[in-house]
Structure 1
């Protein structure tokens, strides 16, 4: 059985030197690994894709569940993992919860992986 990564707060955007700048410290590597682990699931990648491409800027859990053909509870679990990693923020409105991407967290992750990306 693989060794579990420790539980630490990764809700803030990652802040460390790019991986290509120099060998990473253990702490920086752990911070990056925890964020990438949150994305390392096909459903979560699909959810991020839907959230990033929506014209409304946010999507209800019920609509996301329909889009990925899963139960709302399952989608809520996946969104919770993305929220813990700081990549998604959620807001309850009545009976529904709406989700949006935290672009600053994705931009920070992008810069750590490749500082020359998207210029």
Structure 2
């Protein structure tokens, strides 16, 4: 793999430092099984929106722990939130998920021929 050129975002180069930082924050948030399940629970609700009260029953976790995980998802840009009276409703940010999928898709696209830095000898 190290000898193959990756085409990322159509530039013919790897990710920029800023893009790598933003993408890694999203992937890190998704890398936790609880957060991945929470995102799945929100997405599975009608309209792609769920109140904390709707999804917390599926987990053997305290409310503060669930709120922490939802905060991490929100800070990574994967969900948006809206307070309605005493409840907070979460919605999946499909644009953020689509962007992460695009980066992973670009990483999976190998272009050009394999090259080596070694001098033939």
- The TM-score with structure 1 as length reference comes to 0.74
Give the secondary-structure state (helix, strand or coil) at the position aligned to 2:82. Answer: strand
1:24 aligns with 2:15: yes
CA RMSD of aligned residues (A): 2.2
What are structure 2's unaligned runs of at least 5 residues? Answer: 1-7, 109-121
How far off its partner does 1:108 sit? 1.0
- The TM-score with structure 2 as length reference comes to 0.72
Runs of 4+ aligned structure 1 residues displaced above 3 Å come to 17-21
- Given the superposition, is the C-alpha separation of residues 19 and 85 from structure 1 closer, same or farther in structure 2, using an over 3 Å criterion? farther
What are structure 1's unaligned runs of at least 5 residues? Answer: 1-16
How far off its partner does 1:110 sit? 0.8
- Which residue number corresponds to residue 114 of structure 1? 105
1:45 aligns with 2:36: yes
Q: What is the aligned residue count?
A: 100
How far off its partner does 1:55 sit? 1.7
Give the secondary-structure state (helix, strand or coil) at the position aligned to 2:81. Answer: strand
- Given the superposition, is the C-alpha separation of residues 83 and 70 from structure 1 closer, same or farther in structure 2, using an over 3 Å criterion? same
Q: Looking at CA atoms only, which structure, 1 or 2, has the larger radius of gyration?
A: 2
